[in-house]
A and B are shown apart, each in its own frame.
Chain A
Amino acid sequence: ELKVEQNPLFLSMQEGKNYTIYCNYSTTSDRLYWYRQDPGKSLESLFVLLSNGAVKQEGRLMASLDTKARLSTLHITAAVHDLSATYFCAVVQNDMRFGAGTRLTVKP
């Protein structure tokens, strides 16, 4: 059964700092998604990673995929308060499996 694990589950960071969120999954998949969710809101698609070695960047967020290691990372550069949200990775096999989410708080 496909399992998706994110860590850390909670992350509190200072503005201006860098950090990485990790997403490990248990079986072969070559398609991984990152979503953002603000409190009480729906999911916003951030990145779709389609192949081994894929890297995508948008603003202060950069996502990468290593299908051999079954690992994706979401790197945050010079965090700002507006990035505070919960970030989910999701992996596709027969259905879409989400990780438990990383709740990010960026403090001034």
Chain B
Amino acid sequence: ETGVTQSPTHLIKTRGQQVTLRCSSQSGHNTVSWYQQALGQGPQFIFQYYREEENGRGNFPPRFSGLQFPNYSSELNVNALELDDSALYLCASSARQGVEDTQYFGPGTRLTVL
């Protein structure tokens, strides 16, 4: 069984640029959630995708967007990067729709915005 994988592991961007982060869900899982974890804080829910549709969104602006593909892998896109976007971005997959099901987290992508 393959766990959740994310790429890249680290990324450095400058303010105003755009970034795409990628996540492959665990085998058999059809739901992917994305979280932002700032240094020293708990993760914050960005949004969730279930069967290629957005299925819930946290308090993040529209410049945070995502996609889910037929194989249930997912992308997180962030436009017009700001310094405060520097964080660890985690994706988590689960077997069912909704956030109630146990989520399995990937290793994360560390984004630094200069």
Is B102 a contact of A33 with CB atoms below 8 Å?
yes
Q: A33-B102, A45-B102 are in contact. Are A98 and B44 (CB under 8 A)?
A: yes
Is B41 a contact of A48 with CB atoms below 8 Å?
no
Please report which residues of chain B, range 16-50, place their CB below 8 angstroms from some CB of chain A when the two chains form the complex. Answer: 33, 40-45, 48
Chain A contributes a number of interface residues (CB within 8 A of B) equal to 21
Q: Which residues of A contact B106 (CB under 8 A)?
A: 42
Which B residue's beta carbon lies closest to that of A45? B102
Is B105 a contact of A43 with CB atoms below 8 Å?
yes
Q: Which residues of A contact B99 (CB under 8 A)?
A: 92, 94-96
Please report which residues of chain B, range 31-80, place their CB below 8 angstroms from some CB of chain A when the two chains form the complex. Answer: 33, 40-45, 48, 56, 58
Is B108 a contact of A96 with CB atoms below 8 Å?
no
Q: Which residues of A contact B58 (CB under 8 A)?
A: 95
Q: Which residues of B contact A99 (CB under 8 A)?
A: 42
Q: Which residues of B contact A43 (CB under 8 A)?
A: 43, 90, 92, 105
Is A97 a contact of B100 with CB atoms below 8 Å?
no
Complex partner residue of A95 from B41, B42, B45, B105, CB under 8 angstroms: B45
Q: Which residues of B contact A94 (CB under 8 A)?
A: 56, 99
**Interface residue range, chain B:** 20 to 34
From B43, B45, B56, name the one whose CB has the most chain A CB atoms within 10 angstroms. B43
Interface class of chain B by DSSP:
loop
B residues with CB within 8 A of A: 33, 40-45, 48, 56, 58, 90, 92, 99-100, 102-108
| Alpha-carbon distance A43/B41, docked complex (angstroms) | 13
Is B108 a contact of A42 with CB atoms below 8 Å?
yes
From A45, A96, A99, name the one whose CB has the most chain B CB atoms within 10 angstroms. A96
A75 to chain B, nearest CB (A): 20
Q: Does A25 contact B (CB under 8 A)?
A: no
Q: Which residues of B contact A41 (CB under 8 A)?
A: 107
